[in-house]
Amino acid sequence: MIVDLPDTTTSKVSKEIVAMREKGGVVTLGRVLTLVVDTQPDFVEEAIAAANEASREHPCRIIVLAEGSPADPTRLDAQIRVGGDAGASEVIVLSGHGELAGESESLVSALLLPDAPIVVWWPHGVPENPAETPLGCIAHRRITDAATEPNPKEALLHLADTYAAGDTDLSWTRLTNWRVQLAAVLDGAGSSPVQSAVVEGASDSASTFLLAAWLKKALAVPVEIIEGEAGTGIHRVQFRRPEGDVVLARPDQVTAHLTQPGQPEQQISLPRRTLRDCLAEELRRLDPDEVFGEVLTEGLAACLSQEGASA
């Protein structure tokens, strides 16, 4: 069920949600959080689709802020989606115009679920300082995506400078399967030391830089970054050891090949993760991701300073 409310107020939106439940018999699920999505009008449907899919695992209220034009007369347009049109959630789309075009916290405050955690997600456009934005100040978790920035490396460095507990980035979440596989490889290597590592990936892949930073932080060895063709994600990780190199390479973005000295080559399913999968993973935890914080603020700087010194 979808209801449009042009030129409205947040109070009317809240009353309409209650009325829709009463008239349409929509069952209210045990919603575990409020997800606030601050995005651009062109990306609203993409963000809602990902949030709806993720909400099947984490029932929540989704509030989408789609900034309108400051040049228009001041008004608030809203749309409410419940039932089959909203997955396991209620979706409220707010579009402020005129003086409301730059509003954020004041628009959503009346619509937040009482006594429920708040997660804010910026699908496109990393804020200057996520934790100090009006939305970031009220959020338990703040999700950005450096991969959508024109210069993902610079975006990560900026996030490192402004990092606060509760911040995370989907470029880190996309690495979960890589980190699991690489941790298993390192465990299987026993006491054999890793002398250095190589991470090869797309020049526009923020995840490539974070993976190198994670290895730098975890192994305390030199890590070389090789930047390849844009748009292709992570290509290869190589561990250099005295008895021979270990290589995990993904040539087709779906299946990885693991080669180790004295062992037959193994094929491992390692597809690029979907936006829905990454968002659902981030919604599973509401406590600060301390490993991400250390990798971002310590490992990344160490890794990139080493890269600059060797250039």
Do 85 and 133 lie in a common domain?
Answer: yes
Residue 80 confidence (pLDDT):
92
In a domain, 299, yes or no: no
302: how many CB neighbours lie within 10 A of its CB? 16
Do 72 and 195 lie in a common domain?
Answer: no
C-alpha radius of gyration, the chain, whole number: 22
Are 300 and 74 in contact by the 8 Å Cβ rule? The answer is no
For the CA atoms of 121, 154, 200, 192, the dihedral, rounded to the nearest 10 degrees, stands at -90
Last residue of a domain, one of 140, 169, 198: 169
In a domain, 187, yes or no: yes
Match 């892949």 to its residue by tokens.
205
* Amino acid identity at 120: V
In total, how many domains does the chain have? 2
Domain hosting residue 246, numbered range:
176-275
Do 29 and 107 lie in a common domain?
Answer: yes
In a domain, 28, yes or no: yes
Residue 311 confidence (pLDDT):
45
**Residue 117, φ and ψ in degrees, nearest 5:** -60, 155
223: how many CB neighbours lie within 10 A of its CB? 25
Do 55 and 148 lie in a common domain?
Answer: yes
Residue 230 confidence (pLDDT):
87
Nearest CA-CA partner of 82 in 115, 112, 55: 55
Residue 45 confidence (pLDDT):
93
In a domain, 207, yes or no: yes
Are 95 and 78 in contact by the 8 Å Cβ rule? The answer is yes
Residue 177 confidence (pLDDT):
96
Query: For residue 273, what is the DSSP state?
Result: P
Last residue of a domain, one of 117, 137, 169: 169
Do 42 and 147 lie in a common domain?
Answer: yes
In a domain, 87, yes or no: yes
Do 154 and 211 lie in a common domain?
Answer: no
Do 114 and 64 lie in a common domain?
Answer: yes
Query: For residue 288, what is the DSSP state?
Result: -
Do 160 and 258 lie in a common domain?
Answer: no
Do 106 and 187 lie in a common domain?
Answer: no
Identify any residues that bridge with 256 across adjacent strands, giving them in sequence order. 268
Residue 202 confidence (pLDDT):
94
Low-confidence spans in the chain with pLDDT less than 50: 27, 311
* Strand ranges (E), 106-230: 118-121, 141-144, 167-169, 196-202, 223-228
Do 145 and 7 lie in a common domain?
Answer: yes
Do 182 and 155 lie in a common domain?
Answer: no
In a domain, 148, yes or no: yes
Between CA 252 and CA 201 the distance in angstroms is 12
Last residue of a domain, one of 169, 195, 222: 169
Do 88 and 224 lie in a common domain?
Answer: no
In a domain, 12, yes or no: yes
In a domain, 289, yes or no: no
Are 91 and 48 in contact by the 8 Å Cβ rule? The answer is yes
Reading the block at residue 119, the tokens are: 């997660």
